[in-house]
């Protein structure tokens, strides 16, 4: 019996030792500190380190045309009333370039210098014509004096007058040729021609390369005033007949999510495209911030008919679903945001009608609203845990 007790004690010691050799439970990694702070009801305060990553943008709540409208797809183009393509008027080699892409140039500013043998000959023709004109004038004066003294016949005077008229016509023709080539008529014998901008605007494109032979059929510079652009959209004929010149339009660009631009219909086409059964509609868009670029794709919401109704609207990205309510976030300082429940109405093409909860002139968060929603949900989740 004594031996049995010794065996039991030894077994227990081995068992306890084995248990002590097992590793303890793995420690839980420390959770990052919360990026939000508790504030009074319906408010959210974001810590500074989180604010740097949110990249929040805001928009003003606006009254905009309501009523019936249509969504139209289109592409942004230059304002053709303030656009120019500048090319070589005559074959020549590019010897110097004075303007770079995206550079703003004034009307008459130098763009490039060409060298052309043909242009040099045209200038030489002007110089020759001017010399002949001067000789014809002197010849006429001399013959008139001799005619007074009865030394030459009247017919010789008439011939000198005819030669003078011909010389004057030759000078005018040579000057007109130079002006057609974009050069002055100062009579220089240089074979170099300076291309100048016919309008004030931005160099949209430059294909000129120093040393290349310029083809008169191809433009070397495309210049446009980008302060106002044209959006060309296409409306089905049943909608086109209800679109009126002067009607407002709200425009959204894929490259600028969350931003809405205001435009106005300036032209409704008079012909239906036989393939697509659509009519082109031109919308003029202000580009005062220089954010827009020709070639951008866009969606425009255009009012049909008179469109007298006006509604409150916010960008679609500003509206977020939080639990069972639609909310927007109102900035209340550099790091605090009011969580405001609102009543949602119709979709208005990149925007949403707000039927309650907001007033025109208030500011709402657009970019960053989704992340603020996530933080608000996190805060509500922590509150429920504390309640338990």
Q: Mean pLDDT, the chain, as a whole number? A: 81
Tokens of 369: 């609203």
Superfamily the domain 117-183 falls into? Helix hairpin bin (1.10.287.470)
Percent pLDDT > 70 in the chain is 82
Q: Is the pLDDT of residue 74 over 90?
A: yes
The answer, yes or no, to whether residue 216 has pLDDT greater than 60, is yes
pLDDT at 9: 40
Of 11-20, 220-229, 297-306, the range with the lowest mean pLDDT is 11-20
Query: CA 361 → CA 138, 237, 286, 289, 314, distances in Å?
Result: 80, 37, 21, 21, 11
pLDDT at 297: 94
Residue 143 pLDDT exceeds 60 = yes
Tens-place pLDDT, residues 277-292: 999 999 999 999 999 9
Per-domain boundaries in the chain: 37-64+312-387, 69-79+226-308, 84-116+191-223, 117-183
Of 60, 63, 59, 61, residue with least CA distance to 309 = 63
- Per-residue pLDDT, 83: 96
Selection from 12-16, 18-22, 320-324, 377-381 with the highest mean pLDDT: 320-324
Q: Is 214 exposed, middle or buried (0-12, 13-18, 19+ CB in 10 A)?
A: buried
306 pLDDT exceeds 90? Answer: no
Residue 25 has pLDDT above 50, yes or no: no
Q: What average pLDDT does this structure show over 329-338?
A: 88
pLDDT-based confidence at residue 41 (cuts at 50, 70, 90): low
pLDDT at 38 over 50: no
The pLDDT value recorded for residue 190 is: 74
Mean pLDDT calculated for residue range 152-165: 85
Q: Could you write out the DSSP letters of every residue in 196-265?
A: E-SSSEEEEEE---TTPEEPTTSEEEEEE-TTEEEEEEEEEHHHHTT--TT-EEEEEETTSTT-EEEEEE
Which residues lie across from 252 on neighbouring strands?
A: 260, 299
pLDDT given for residue 3 in this prediction: 46
pLDDT above 50 (res 356): yes
* 159 — pLDDT class (breaks 50, 70, 90): confident
Fold of 37-64+312-387: 2.40.420
CATH assignment of 69-79+226-308, among 2.40.30.170, 3.40.50.970, 3.40.50.1820, 2.60.120.510 = 2.40.30.170
Fold of 84-116+191-223: OB fold (Dihydrolipoamide Acetyltransferase, E2P) (2.40.50)
State the average pLDDT over residues 161-180: 83
Q: Is 291 helix (H, G, I), strand (E, B) or coil?
A: coil
Backbone phi, then psi, for 278, in 5-degree steps? -125, 165
Q: Give residue 221's pLDDT.
A: 96
Contact between residue 302 and residue 235 where contact means Cβ atoms under 8 Å apart: yes
Range in 151-160, 180-189, 213-222, 311-320 the model is least confident about:
180-189
Sign of the C-alpha dihedral computed for residues 210, 212, 214 and 217 taken in this order: negative
């Amino acid at each position: 019996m004594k031996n049995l007790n010794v065996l039991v004690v030894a077994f227990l010691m081995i068992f306890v030792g084995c248990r002590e050799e097992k590793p303890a439970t793995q420690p839980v990694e420390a959770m990052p500190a919360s990026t939000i702070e508790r504030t009074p009801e319906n408010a959210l305060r974001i810590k500074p380190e989180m604010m740097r990553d949110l990249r929040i943008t805001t928009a003003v709540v606006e009254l905009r045309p309501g009523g019936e409208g249509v969504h139209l797809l289109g592409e942004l183009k230059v304002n053709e009333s303030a656009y120019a393509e500048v090319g070589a008027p005559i074959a020549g080699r590019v010897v110097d370039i004075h303007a770079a892409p995206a550079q703003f140039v004034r009307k008459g500013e130098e763009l490039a210098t060409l060298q052309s043998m043909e242009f040099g000959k045209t200038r030489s023709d002007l110089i020759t014509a001017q010399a002949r004109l001067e000789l014809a004038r002197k010849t006429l004066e001399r013959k008139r004096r001799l005619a007074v003294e009865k030394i030459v016949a009247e017919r010789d005077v008439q011939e000198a007058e005819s030669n003078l008229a011909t010389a004057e016509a030759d000078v005018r023709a040579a000057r007109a040729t130079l002006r057609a080539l974009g050069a002055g008529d100062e009579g220089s014998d240089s074979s170099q021609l300076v291309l100048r901008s016919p309008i004030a605007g931005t160099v949209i494109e430059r294909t000129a390369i120093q040393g290349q032979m310029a083809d008169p059929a191809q433009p070397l510079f495309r210049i446009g005033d980008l302060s106002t652009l044209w959006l060309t959209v296409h409306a089905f004929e049943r909608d086109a007949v209800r679109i009126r010149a002067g009607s407002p339009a709200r425009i959204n660009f894929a490259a600028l999510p969350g931003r809405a631009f205001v435009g106005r219909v300036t032209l409704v086409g008079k012909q239906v495209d036989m393939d697509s059964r659509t009519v082109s509609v031109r919308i003029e868009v202000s580009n005062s911030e220089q954010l827009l670029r020709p070639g951008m794709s866009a969606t425009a919401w255009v009012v049909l008919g008179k469109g007298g109704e006006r509604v409150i609207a916010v960008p679609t990205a500003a509206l977020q679903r939080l639990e069972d309510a639609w909310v927007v976030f109102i900035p209340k300082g550099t790091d605090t945001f009011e969580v405001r429940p609102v009543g949602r109405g119709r979709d208005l093409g990149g925007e949403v009608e707000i039927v309650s909860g907001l007033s025109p002139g208030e500011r709402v968060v657009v970019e960053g609203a989704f992340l603020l929603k996530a933080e608000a949900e996190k805060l509500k989740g922590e509150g429920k845990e504390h309640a338990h």
